[in-house]
Structures are given as C-alpha cells and as structure tokens.
Amino acid sequence: MQFQLDDERIAIRDMARAFAREKIAPHALEWDENRHFPLDVLRQAAELGMAAIYVREDAGGAGLSRLDAALIFEALAEGCPCVSAYLSIHNMCAWMIDAFGSQEQRERFLPRLVRMERAASYCLTEPGAGSDAAALTTRAAREGDDYILNGQKQFISGAGNEADFYVVMVRTGEAGPRGVSCIIVEGGTPGVSFGKNERKMGWNAQPTRAVMFDNARVPLANRIGAEGEGFRIAMAGLDGGRINIGACSIGGAQAALDTALAYMRERKAFGKRLDEFQALQFRLADMATGIEAARTLLWRAAGALDDRTPDATRLCAMAKRFATDAGFDAANGALQMLGGYGYLSAYGLEKIVRDLRVHQILEGTNEIMRLIIARGMVRG
C-alpha cells in the first residue's frame, strides 16, 4: 500500500476541501444553533458527485473508491462533521441499492439519489434493538404484491424532511439475522409517521427522529435482494459506514487542531506565545500523532474494503474505533488549549467536540467494535 496520495486523489480531496471552506464552514455555527438541515447545500455537493461517490458510473455515480470517499468525508468534516456525516449516510443508502438492487431498482431510484432530489435515511436501529441489530422487530408481512410494515425505528438521521427516502431493515421471517430483509420506503407513503425532532448534544444540522410504520403498504418490488438477505446487506453497508464516520472524526479533529494552533500563535501568557511553551508543544504533538495514526489506519481499512480482503470487516472496526476515539480526544484537547475561549461557541471548538462525541456510539458503538475485532482474532 502506498501512503502518498497521487495527483488525482489530491485533486479530489482539494475539491471537497474547497467546497467545505466556501459552502459549509461559514454557516456551520448558524446551522447548529438553528437546527437547520442545509438540503440546498447538500444538493450543491451532489452536483459535484458527492451524493453518490462509490455508486457505479452507469447509474450516474462517481464510481470512486472507498479511499476516495474517506478523503472527501474528511475534507467536508473540516467544515462541519455533522453535514459530512449525513452525506455519508446518504451515500451508504445509494450504494446499497447500487450494489444489491436489481437493474430496475437502480434505474428507478438511483437518479433521484444521485441528484439528491431525495435525501436518504438508513433505518436499522430500533428502541429495543441498537447494538443487537439482529433482534429488530419491525415487521413486513406479505399481502398480495405488497408488504405491510408495522414497527418503529429510532435515531434516524435525516428523517421527516421534505425529500425523504428510507432504506429500512425489517423482519420478514424467523427470529435472528436470517429473518431480516431490506425494503425501500419512499417519503409520503401512507402509514409512515415521525417522532419529534430530537434535541441532541450535537449533530444539530441534521434532524433525528423516530420513524413509525402503521400498516404502511410498500410494493414487493421495493425489496432489495431476496427475503432474508437484509442483515447481510446491513452489515456490508456498515463496513463502509464505519470508514466514513471515522473519516468525519479525523476531519473534525484536524479542524479543531488547526484552530488551536492558530490561536496559540497569537495568544501570549507570561510574556511568551502559547506555542512557545514546551508542555503545550508536547500536547500538540500527541494530538497530531493521534490524528495521523488514525488517518493511516483508516486508509489501510478503506484499501482492504476496496480490495474485499478477508480481514476488511475487522480492519473497518479497528479504524472506526481508533479514529473516533482519537478524533474526539484531539478535539477535546484542542478546546482545552483555548481555555475559556474554547468553551465559547464563537471559535467553533465546542461544536466540534459535541458533534464528534456521537461518532463513538453510532455505526456500532466502540464497545461493539472491540467485540468484532476480538471475535476475528479468537476465531482465527
């Protein structure tokens, strides 16, 4: 594996970074304060191919690699981790249809997702089934040429907006993972309703709601793959999702570190600039090392996922666990460097800390990542 990016990948990263600086960063604090979901900006990102990064080109996608996607999500997260993270969820949903859907489904659904006419949400978690995803109880019963859905999904990012689209994991058969199927539910389907927009510690620039199904009728033609394949599809999606959220953590942490370093070059104490104190230099060094180590592991995992190596799932779990922990620690350390100013919203560090905290929970908690890693080691 090469650790130096070629000119094409540098151009991809720089394109996303320029977009983040121009379109995202100047508004991130306002979006956070007002709980505004910037669909207009996300659609501008879609015009640059960032709503279907690793969807195949024949469906209108960019046809890029998981490593390319990691570079893009890291760069966007320098502007706002929350916005970047939502875009990663949308990309995961589009990829599931591209990778596992029929040609008819790809032609019917993907053009709207590529252009982000529809904003996609991923519905796996339930009130009683978070880390134990195979225990989900939302049921889809067959009735003629339709499924009738009943149940509830919890903590669904992007839910309830005016252009909603849901990739939903439901139970169509026996208990456990073999009874799970994957169904597309379009916004406006009768019987689909939403909980309140949750008030959260962070991630305020995207709505988070419960999604309820009460005898919601969905065509059989909206099922992705065969009955019973949903859990496999869900886990495949989460491998990439873990890479993406790790990249968002790295991008947020890098932005926090850059802010802290700029502040320390200007601020003086006891007659010296803060960046001249060796104790603070050591803390900067540790934070930078953690970010770079996380980035290197993430690239390694992304490469394994692109190559479909047998250890890809384990490496994705490692990268997610390490990157989200290291990213949060670096952002929290950067806030400390600013003292009381870091605690104020004006510098943006407290927002980054709040946004990155949830990355240690979603896409599988970091405790579950340790379980995945350990099981791979024990089973050999």
Active-site annotation, residues:
363
In Å, what is the CA distance from 235 to each residue of 75, 76, 96, 325?
26, 25, 11, 22
Beta bridge mates, 146: 143, 219
Length of the chain: 380
148 SS3 class: strand
Quick one: tokens of 3?
């650790």
HSE of 118, CA atoms in CB hemisphere, 13 A = 22
Quick one: tokens of 209?
């709601």
Judge contact between 299 and 68, C-beta under 8 A.
no
Q: How far apart are CA 188 and CA 301, in angstroms?
A: 38
Question: Which residue in the block uniquely carries the two structure tokens 């339930």?
Answer: 126
Question: DSSP letters along 4-27, please?
Answer: S--HHHHHHHHHHHHHIIIIIGGG
Question: DSSP letters along 28-68, please?
Answer: HHHHHHHT---HHHHHHHHHTTTTSTTS-GGGT-----HHH
Q: How far apart are CA 325 and CA 253, in angstroms?
A: 10
Quick one: tokens of 293?
């180590």
Runs of H (alpha helix) within the chain: 7-19, 28-34, 39-47, 66-77, 81-100, 103-114, 230-266, 278-307, 312-337, 349-357, 366-379
Instruction: Report, in angstroms and rounded to the nearest whole number, the Rg of the chain calculated over CA atoms.
Output: 21
